[in-house]
Structure 1
Amino acid sequence: MGGRMKAVLIGPIQQENLALGYLAAYARAKGHEVAVVAYAYRKDLDRTVERALAEQPDLIGLGIAFQNNVDDYVLLVRTLRERGFRGHLTCGGHVGTFCWEELLAELPELDTVVRHDGEETLVEMLEAIARGESPRSIAGLVWREGDRVVKGPVRPAFGDLDALPRPERSPEPYVVGGMTVDFLISARGCVGECSYCSIAAYTSEQRKSYRLRAPEAVADEIAFAYHERGAKVFFVQDDLFVLPGERAAITRMERIKSAIRERGVGDVVFWIKGRPENISLPVAQAAREMGAIHMFLGVENASSKRLKYLGRTHLPIHNDSAIDNCRAAGIVPSFNFMLFDPDCTLDDVGTTLDMADRNLDLPWNVCRTEIYSGTALRERLATEGRLEGNWRSFGYRMRDERAEVMFRILRVSLNERALAIDSLLNRLISLSFARQLHAHFFPSRATSALDEAVTKLGIEARRDTVARLRELRDLVANAPLRDARAMQRFAVEQGLAIGAFDMPLRERTEALWNQLHARGRVQTHRQGNAQVRSRGGFEVAAGS
């Protein structure tokens, strides 16, 4: 037995799963047949299993990107076996990289686990299967030998990203505001060593924490999407796009700008990411000249103590200067405020709320610092005896009892406003980006009116968020914490009140989103870029 093997790769594709796309393209370039199948939610289980089994693959690989939906993939593994799959079953991604021991212990149905970048590992596995062998003794792989689990050596990070073939993309483009959005990776990894970040943990074993593609290779991919897929909007999924060092950052963006123009690319815009300490005014101006209209900033918190605790390398002054520089350059910044972490206090929360209040016109959301396998913060809490939960979902109690109570209340009262993946504040980030696209590509009086309506709606929701969080903070600061019933009652009452307040805001959000989408489709059709079939939704903010 030998030669061409068939693989099915399964993972979430709410926007575009470029991780699976790269795996598929690399394996195909090596002579194998690969299909990519979407599995975002448990409701998709039957359809996903049917599609995967219809391919009659030799190998099925699951890309488990998120630790909080491990159970969905446990169910998928068991269902694939129950319905007759007898080939090699493996998984990878962040969860596989750090939780391989737990996965193999719980799932005898699973044959192996892939750690870190999987392109070369996947191909070597397919070659082993082609020889009639069970994949083992492969760098980057964990496998079984009898009752033992054996971890192979860490595979060094793929050195030349430009040697990788262009990733496979969904045939149906993703649409925001009626415009085709394509997704792009120009680098892998990050220079930061944030204690809570799974990216820093992921790259720590690979010897290369940050790898760049050549600007010309990036421009080739942009040109392909522009000319062949009609994309004028690019969401750069790099964990870090703006390089540290002003000269280096500006030079790279100037080279990308020049290279895409040389390839006949016209007016295109970008959503990019940056660390606040790297966003000087010249850098922001260079980003805008390249085409960036939106920048997700790693603001995280407004307290210097909290930033230090989280392993950030910037100060509150960098948050303010980065926002000011983006505004001055014509870029809209967005960000998440990590209001809570294991050692925060109510005073820290108040400091960050003050910053939020100063930026009500910008799209932002609030959250708690979560704990992921492999991170320094997880190890710290474990050492301190404070780590709760298990590998599926870690948690903690804050040292400050009043901060803990505040979070427990808002977890009930503010879930649909802020904490859920489809929360109102997340949707407003996506809506803000849609209105930016119209302001850039379709300027008119009607566009200005839509722009004003979106901005007014966002300010209204965020102002109310700050007010309710301050009210809650003041209550918790002075209330007797032993009265659990009173706190529970307040949480429910606030949740109902916020839900009633948000109902018309959600209706306005939906109406504006639909209006921008329909208007954008009409405008792009007039420009000769009609979309026959497409995908879309509010998930663009989830990429932050």
Structure 2
Amino acid sequence: MPDVLLVYPPMKEVEIADHLGLPYIAAYLREKGMSVQIIDTKIEGWSPKQAIEEISKMPTKVIGITLPFQIYALEVLNFISALREKTTAHISVGGIFPTFAYREILERYPCIDSVVLGEGEVTFYDLAKSILENKNWKEIHGIAYRESEGIQNTPFRPLVKDLNGLPFPARDNLPRIYEKTKVASVISSRGCYASCSFCSVVPFYEKFGPRIRLRDPENVVDELEMLVKEYKVENVIFCDANFTVSKERAAKIATEIIRRKLKLRYAIESRVTEVDEKLFKLLKESGLRRVFLGLESGSQSMLNRFRKDVTVEQNLRALEILSKLDLYVSPGFIMFDDRTSLEELQENVRFLRTIRQITGKKIRPVDITTKLLPLSGTEFERYLKEKGKYRGDVFSFNYKIEDPSVRFIYYFLKFFGTIISYLKKLFPGEDWDKKWLKS
């Protein structure tokens, strides 16, 4: 019987992927002598009902469940409610969303015993240890819980100072995940230095410490080498919010990959201001094939509202460099927010035509129905609430586009976008997200 079960819950619209949150926690707990079983319900192919039946057969005192996506929170929380009827184990949830919305979660869902606030490795270990030893777990720093007098939270726990000191994530399910996806994940840093109004990553980390921490290049490539030698991995996605936050470190990682003769294709995320031809030429030599680029808009007024601290010209320049190097681009793009005007829509349409001319077929198609999400903890969420525009709650949120003409266009595109998505499922074509694996 494992001391702890760590569960990646069923989410209907989320595809199988190599998620690393729970594997990092599992590795840390195992290093401390705990027995841990990681259950990925997606790779098991379990429905919510099947997952509950299987998990309830595994006697344990502690169950940790990740809640990674706010837009799927209700689905996961309803799953946990049903699981609670089948187990007496302590159920704890964690992630960026629960860290900001722990009060709403604990008030509405009595099935949950505690919420881990911030990074999970050390806090969840201390929590599990206290429960297993029958000690007062409510004294653990970095958690929130329910009392008769209301929701309580203990003092925040600081972030892990040295990421190099953490064990590599436990790769229990990687062989089966890799068989399905042909991609493994690596996290070489945590956080970001930018101040984008829609992003919850920076608010999450700066709540407990520095905005960004970096692993040493050698430590990163040690993990890559382990993946190549032990798991025969050929394709990697770096899940950093910004892999090129330090150009010098990125160059050292590339140089070390080349020096060790690791045969890899990999994908990264970068800000347009860090797309430098010399650096990206080196990265390509070491195996870079795809770049997720946070363009977000082709309208300068929208970029300013999003606090991107970039210009439309810088967006285009970055694309020109990546196109010259024949690198595949996955663009981040947001067509609508509450203040989008017809003029801004026209600017975005012209921009999208321009980037298609620049990149040809080496760019993933943009979803033109994308609407800015007011995620918990973000500046955009605070703005909407201050202006009285926020509708709903953290589990089901919305807002109205001010301009009635733009609002009509949004719903018109959304309607036809739904039809197109349905047809794509019926008649699947080329998987754009996998094109870089073949280059």
TM exceeds 0.5? yes
CA separation in 2, counterparts of 1:5 and 1:296? 38
Structure 1's 331 and 231: CA in aligned 2 closer, same or farther, altered over 3 A?
A: same
Instruction: Return the structure number with greater helix share.
Output: 1
Offset of residue 72 of structure 1: 1.8
CA separation in 2, counterparts of 1:175 and 1:166? 17
TM-score, normalised by the number of residues in structure 1: 0.73
CA separation in 2, counterparts of 1:164 and 1:350? 48
CA separation in 2, counterparts of 1:291 and 1:11? 30
Name the stretch that deviates more: 85-94 or 42-51. Answer: 42-51
SS at match of 2:47: helix
The correspondence of residues 145-544 of structure 1 with structure 2, limited to 5 A, is 145-169=147-171, 170-175=173-178, 180-243=182-245, 248-249=246-247, 251-263=248-260, 265-360=261-356, 361=361, 362-366=363-367, 367-417=370-420, 431-439=431-439
SS at match of 1:136: helix
Offset of residue 173 of structure 1: 4.3
| Post-superposition CA distance 1:50-89 (Å, at most 9, x none) | 3322321110111001112222222222222212x11211
Structure 1's 240 and 173: CA in aligned 2 closer, same or farther, altered over 3 A?
A: farther
Structure 1's 51 and 284: CA in aligned 2 closer, same or farther, altered over 3 A?
A: same
For residue 286 of structure 1, what is the amino acid of its counterpart?
L
CA separation in 1, counterparts of 2:160 and 2:393? 31
What runs of 5+ residues in structure 2 fail to find an aligned partner?
Answer: 10-14
Q: Does the 8 Å CA contact 2:17/2:181 hold for their aligned counterparts?
A: no
The correspondence of residues 108-127 of structure 1 with structure 2, limited to 5 A, is 108-127=110-129
For residue 81 of structure 1, what is the amino acid of its counterpart?
R
Q: Does the 8 Å CA contact 2:3/2:34 hold for their aligned counterparts?
A: yes
2:51 paired residue number = 48
| Post-superposition CA distance 1:156-208 (Å, at most 9, x none) | 111111111110221434458x9832111101111111111121221230221
| Post-superposition CA distance 1:418-443 (Å, at most 9, x none) | 6x9x978xx87x8345343333xxxx
CA separation in 1, counterparts of 2:432 and 2:110? 46
Structure 1's 119 and 174: CA in aligned 2 closer, same or farther, altered over 3 A?
A: same
For residue 183 of structure 1, what is the amino acid of its counterpart?
S
Structure 1's 347 and 423: CA in aligned 2 closer, same or farther, altered over 3 A?
A: farther
Q: Does the 8 Å CA contact 1:187/1:238 hold for their aligned counterparts?
A: yes
CA separation in 2, counterparts of 1:204 and 1:304? 28
Q: Does the 8 Å CA contact 1:186/1:241 hold for their aligned counterparts?
A: yes
For residue 431 of structure 2, what is the amino acid of its counterpart?
L
| Post-superposition CA distance 1:311-344 (Å, at most 9, x none) | 1111101110000011112212220321101111
- The question of 1:8 aligning with 2:5 is answered yes
- The question of 1:64 aligning with 2:67 is answered yes
| Post-superposition CA distance 1:353-382 (Å, at most 9, x none) | 112112333213221111111111111111
| Post-superposition CA distance 1:200-237 (Å, at most 9, x none) | 22123022111111111111110011111111111111
Structure 1's 43 and 27: CA in aligned 2 closer, same or farther, altered over 3 A?
A: closer
SS at match of 2:184: strand
Give the fraction of aligned pairs with identical amino acids, expressed as a percent: 24
Name the stretch that deviates more: 63-72 or 209-218. Answer: 63-72
CA separation in 2, counterparts of 1:40 and 1:411? 28
For residue 167 of structure 1, what is the amino acid of its counterpart?
P
SS at match of 1:77: helix
2:12 paired residue number = none
1:502 paired residue number = none
Task: Specify which of 87, 90, 104 is matched with residue 88 of structure 1.
Answer: 90
For residue 262 of structure 2, what is the amino acid of its counterpart?
G
CA separation in 1, counterparts of 2:385 and 2:89? 38
Structure 1's 230 and 40: CA in aligned 2 closer, same or farther, altered over 3 A?
A: closer
CA separation in 2, counterparts of 1:387 and 1:342? 10
For residue 116 of structure 1, what is the amino acid of its counterpart?
G
Q: Does the 8 Å CA contact 1:38/1:48 hold for their aligned counterparts?
A: no
Q: Does the 8 Å CA contact 2:238/2:267 hold for their aligned counterparts?
A: yes
Supply the RMSD in Å over aligned alpha carbons. 2.3
State the number of aligned residues: 423
Offset of residue 5 of structure 1: 6.8
SS at match of 2:267: strand
SS at match of 1:364: coil
| Post-superposition CA distance 1:82-140 (Å, at most 9, x none) | 12x11211111122111111111112221111111010011101121132124212221
CA separation in 1, counterparts of 2:424 and 2:95? 26
CA separation in 2, counterparts of 1:385 and 1:107? 26
CA separation in 2, counterparts of 1:348 and 1:40? 40
CA separation in 2, counterparts of 1:184 and 1:305? 35
CA separation in 1, counterparts of 2:68 and 2:42? 10
Offset of residue 284 of structure 1: 2.2
| Post-superposition CA distance 1:236-259 (Å, at most 9, x none) | 11111012xxxx40x323321333
Structure 1's 86 and 436: CA in aligned 2 closer, same or farther, altered over 3 A?
A: closer
CA separation in 1, counterparts of 2:415 and 2:118? 36
Structure 1's 73 and 433: CA in aligned 2 closer, same or farther, altered over 3 A?
A: closer
Structure 1's 86 and 160: CA in aligned 2 closer, same or farther, altered over 3 A?
A: same
Structure 1's 179 and 45: CA in aligned 2 closer, same or farther, altered over 3 A?
A: closer
Offset of residue 17 of structure 1: 1.4
CA separation in 2, counterparts of 1:387 and 1:214? 42
* Structure showing greater Rg: 1
Offset of residue 40 of structure 1: 4.9
1:477 paired residue number = none
SS at match of 2:295: coil
TM-score, normalised by the number of residues in structure 2: 0.90
CA separation in 2, counterparts of 1:206 and 1:114? 13
Q: Does the 8 Å CA contact 1:336/1:364 hold for their aligned counterparts?
A: no
